[in-house]
Structure 1
Amino acid sequence: MSDGFTMTTGQGEMQGSAQGSAPDTALTEEEKKMAAEYARQIDLYDSGAVLQYGAGVQKKMADFSEKALENVRTKDLGEIGDLLSGVVTELRDFDEEETKGFFGFFKKSANKVTALKAKYEKAEANISKICETLEGYQRQLLKDAAILDKMYDQNLEYFKELSLYIAAGKKKLEDTRNVQLPDLVQKANSTGLPEDIQAAKDLEAMCERFEKKVHDLELTRMIAIQTAPQIRLVQNNDTQMVEKIQSTIVNTVPLWKSQMVLALGVEHSAQAAQAQREVTDMTNELLKKNAERLKMATIESARESERGIVDMETLKTTNEALISTLDEVMKIQQEGREKRRAAEEEIGRLEGDLKAKLLEIRK
């Protein structure tokens, strides 16, 4: 302390500060002895010392509060939340192709594996960038948590120091009002001298001013009490955010990637099964067609093998044609003979007519 006296704090604790409960204001025996010793050194007649009583620790508390506020002010946890939401958005955008999740892609056309890989690579690149930024925030939050631990210990130290100042001040007020002030009042009453009366009034006024100073220290100590749970709340927020970042990096993203590997594997298996099914269907179709062709060829071969060199229908047709031809030939020959006989008769008649005519000329 820098108030003209030397006083060091003991090893006390601010109980339940992380939950916001009131601290244990009871001092240890050693601290009570220190407060009593310090109370004996306080001079209420020294207005400067009274004015500066506890001012040092109050100044440290003010600087400390500003530092704590600056730590909170410069921390943008909202951006971390936006980044975490960004991971979810990337995964949701990746999966929105189908309403039924990763495996909904399997209802698409033959190029769906290529499209799936392209979307995976795009999503993975975006998520990797986000994760790099999150890891940077994670490291900063871990540093902040360590700083907050030191700030908590420092706040506890200020609390104990203020408690000793307050205990010493109250001890001084108690001793002054119970011993020194009654003596001056008694003396003033007995002597009736103005200076004695004024001395009693001055001491009472000094006690009033010092009591206000002690009360100010109590207000400052209350700030220290309130600061403790505030530090823990901020620290808890940092820790929760670190855990969320850690969970996203080591759980969410790897799980998504493993599901993608499974999805691609299943799709490859589905395509292989489809190809095998098509081969099997084609094989069955070929077997059916070949069996049908073999049946037709066998029947035709058996039918042809059972046929004679010339079909009976052909022989019947050719025989009928031959008979018809012979009939026609015989008919033609008969007609020819008849025509020749008629011609011979006509020739004979002509010849007779000619001979008769010639005989007429000779006469």
Structure 2
Amino acid sequence: MHNRNVSPLMDNSREMLSEEAVNDIQLAMRNEPEVQQLARSIDEHDIIRILEYGKEPAVEISRLSDQIIAVMRTYNVKGFGQLHTQLGRVMDRFDKKDFEKNSGGLISKLFKKREKMLDRLYSKYQSIGIEMEQVYVKISEYQNEMAETATMLEQLYEQNIQYYLLLEKFVVAGEMKLNELKTNKLPKLEQNALNGNQIDSMELDYLRNAIELLEHRILDLGMAKIVALQTAPQIRLLQRGNAKLIGKINSTFITTIPIFKNGLIRAVAAKKQKLAAESMKELDRRTNELMVQKVRNMAGQSIEAACLSGCPEIKIETIQECFNIILKGMQEAKIIEEENKRLREEGEQRLKELQKNFHNSKQK
């Protein structure tokens, strides 16, 4: 039972063990040799052993809750907000008009300021490409960290279930021993004490004290077991939120950003070729009239080549679509991150309350 996979017994609506499943586990444990041996190992004459009964799994459950809270706090520090804001600033610099056809007077303007315009356009989108690459690297690193943490959370979840099952063993064994003491030994000592046997009276007082301590210890272990049960859905909620964000990062940013960036590079190159071709056309028109016929043949070939090279492999509409996808993904990722933050805060507060109640019950 310690290694048993309890996932099929989970209540899917709440990600917790259902009451029926818990009862099935308890009944199954009563027939296990390990649990029966554990019940026999409880010595009602050893008060110290009773007080420390089931101490190890109870302590581990408390430590596990601290680890989960630490993970939640780590996520608050490594939030997606800063990357989201940085990417938003980069995206705001993109202007579709930079790649659209210019208004009248283009040739004359290009002829005079072609180099300056090309340098400015190239510099702008080279800078955007570099900044986007930096954001892309950070987002990829963030995704990898989240994936590693998801693996760690899954390990914590499995440990939590295993500690719960171990606690259940101690509780079931304790209840079996308690039932034996109350059913077999206690009535005999009570009968002997009524007959005036002083030794039996002293033994009866000692046994009653042991029974009371064992009942209290079983109650403490039951509280630790509840902490384990209620910790499981908190882990699952955190995993679900992280999975949604990882999926959104992968589909919107990891996939779309490289396409968008490459589209920008090709669009700038195509724009540069187009402007150069149009400038060359203007220069060709001004060529000496004596060379007109020869130049026309050369110009025809140059214009044809310029037209072919001036058509970008990726249309501006494709770049615009990628731009819109990234913006939409940023909005959706922000919503998911805010929901994750709320779930983490609620989960952390809930675990703190459970730990506080657990410690308070131990003090009583």
TM-score range, shorter chain: 0.5 to 0.7
Q: CA deviation at 1:81?
A: 2.9
Q: CA deviation at 1:192?
A: 3.0
Gaps of 5+ in 1: 1-7, 287-363
1:182 correspondence with 2:187: yes
My pick for the range that moved more, 248-257 or 102-111, is: 102-111
Residue 4 of structure 2, aligned match among 3, 11, 19: 11
1:168 correspondence with 2:173: yes
Residue 200 of structure 1, aligned match among 195, 199, 204: 204
TM-score (norm 1): 0.63
Q: CA deviation at 1:214?
A: 0.5
2:29–2:169 Cα contact (<8 Å) kept:
no
Change (3 A) 1:140 1:80: same
> How far, CA to CA, are the matches of 2:153 and 2:3 in structure 1?
22
Q: CA deviation at 1:78?
A: 4.9
Change (3 A) 1:22 1:184: same
Paired residues for 1:122-271 under 5 Å: 122-189=127-194, 191-260=195-264, 263-264=267-268, 267=271
Paired residues for 1:1-363 under 5 Å: 9-13=2-6, 15-16=9-10, 19-23=14-18, 24-25=21-22, 26-27=24-25, 29=28, 32-33=31-32, 34-76=34-76, 78-95=78-95, 103=99, 106=102, 110=110, 114-189=119-194, 191-260=195-264, 263-264=267-268, 267=271
> How far, CA to CA, are the matches of 1:145 and 1:40 in structure 2?
41
**Paired residue type of 1:49:** R
**Paired residue type of 2:74:** T
> How far, CA to CA, are the matches of 1:77 and 1:104 in structure 2?
42
> How far, CA to CA, are the matches of 2:138 and 2:76 in structure 1?
13
Other-structure match for 1:327: none
Identity of aligned residues (%): 24
1:20–1:228 Cα contact (<8 Å) kept:
yes
Deviations 1:22-50 (A, max 9, x none): 35322263663232332122112210110
Change (3 A) 1:52 1:159: same
Change (3 A) 1:128 1:41: same
Change (3 A) 1:75 1:156: same
The aligned length equals: 271
Question: RMSD of the TM alignment (CA)?
Answer: 3.4
Change (3 A) 1:41 1:78: closer
Q: CA deviation at 1:217?
A: 0.5
2:30–2:173 Cα contact (<8 Å) kept:
no
1:44–1:50 Cα contact (<8 Å) kept:
yes
3-state SS of paired residue (2:90): helix
